Chains A and B, each alone.
Chain A
């Protein structure tokens, strides 16, 4: 059990929640999401994001549309579906409960 591994495991679970949360504000393409996650220091490398987006899309939480870009190839813009919004609401509640629980324990 090393620290780096434990930290990575912790982040991984929260990462999907963060993606949905970012997309609930605005639709965005992969690089936008990556930039925000990097700013927040949630991820270090980019590659991990792509399989997550594909999985969330296949689960019906996200949909995407193609948009032309002024420089380079067309971009895939992701947005939350209704199902994704519901899912996010549930996660919001779960997250608050989790934070409260951890704080409760740590204060004791």
Chain B
């Protein structure tokens, strides 16, 4: 017995096994990180997704069947290695920067949208310094009641510090190097988080 998911691939709906989904998602992400220009990335990814949808439909017209891990692997064979796809899209000179588009371990303060009570300032500080955000929250509350500077500083930080929106920014917030392998890792982690939250409900 296997759990299945429903996905939208190139505008078509498919049922897919959980392990096949994980493999497909990791593959697409590995292609995606090669394209630095957002417009180009979107277009190429759309084209590739549409082609995948077409390949799946060519194989079997039945709408209610489930896409298996083997089929995803076959598609990967047909479409090829993500590094090769990325290389044909990039000028050779910029190839290096796309692999490590930030220096490893580059660290920045962001507001953390995944761990927040108001604006995510304390959550972000906690992630940056690798300490429990609760400590910052208590400090801000103490300084708010002792003269009100805490609230002022908090609001200024809320305005000045950007929110970590993308996966790469969240990794920078924690000081993790932004590499393809690590991006793949966070994708898998996110997937597991979602899966676990489903299981709980």
- Give the B-binding residues of A (Cβ under 8 A): 12, 15, 30-31, 44-55, 58, 71-73, 76
The CA of A48 and the CA of B82, in the complex, are separated in Å by: 9
Query: Chain B contacts of A15 at CB under 8 A?
Result: 88
A58-B39, A76-B47 known; 5 new pairs, CB 8 Å cut-off, are A30-B47, A46-B51, A47-B79, A48-B84, A51-B89
The interface residues of chain A lying within 8 Å CB-to-CB of B94 are none
A-B contact pairs, 5 of them (CB 8 A): A47-B79, A47-B81, A47-B84, A50-B44, A76-B50
Q: Cβ of B10 and Cβ of A73 under 8 Å apart?
A: yes
A70 to chain B, nearest CB (A): 12
A72→B44 contact, CB < 8 A: no
Is the Cβ of A58 less than 8 Å from the Cβ of B40? yes
B147 at interface by CB-CB < 8 Å: no
Contact partner of A47 among B50, B54, B80, B90, CB < 8 A? Answer: B80
Q: When A and B form their complex, what is the total count of cross-chain residue pairs whose Cβ atoms lie within 8 Å? A: 70
Query: In which size bucket is the chain B interface?
Result: 20 to 34
- A58 shortest CB reach to chain B, Å: 7
Instruction: Report which of B10, B48, B77 forms a contact with A50, defined as CB distance below 8 A.
Output: B48
Q: In the assembly, what is the distance between CA of A48 and CA of B43, in Å?
A: 14
CB 8 Å contact bits of B160-192 with A (1 = contact, 0 = none): 000000000000000000000000000000000
Please, which residue of chain A has its CB at the minimum distance from the CB of B53?
A73
A-contacting residues of B (Cβ < 8 Å)? 10-12, 31, 35, 39-40, 43-44, 47-48, 50-51, 53-54, 57, 61, 77-82, 84-86, 88-90
Report how far A69 CA is from B79 CA in the complex, Å. Answer: 22
Cβ-defined partner of A48 (8 Å) among B12, B35, B40, B80: B80
A45's partner among B35, B39, B80 (CB-CB below 8 A) is B80
CA distance A55 to B164 in the complex (A): 30
- Enumerate chain B residues within 8 angstroms of A51, measured Cβ to Cβ: 35, 40, 44, 85-86, 88-90
In the complex, the answer to whether B78 meets A46 with C-beta atoms within 8 Å is yes
Closest to A69 in B: B54
Chain B residues contacting A76 (CB-CB under 8 Å) are 47, 50
Say whether, besides A30-B47, A54-B44, A48 and B88 are in contact (CB < 8 Å): yes
**Which residue of B has the minimal Cβ distance to A58?**
B40
Query: Which residues of the partner chain B approach A58 to less than 8 Å between Cβ atoms?
Result: 39-40
Bound form: Cα–Cα A58–B39 in Å = 10
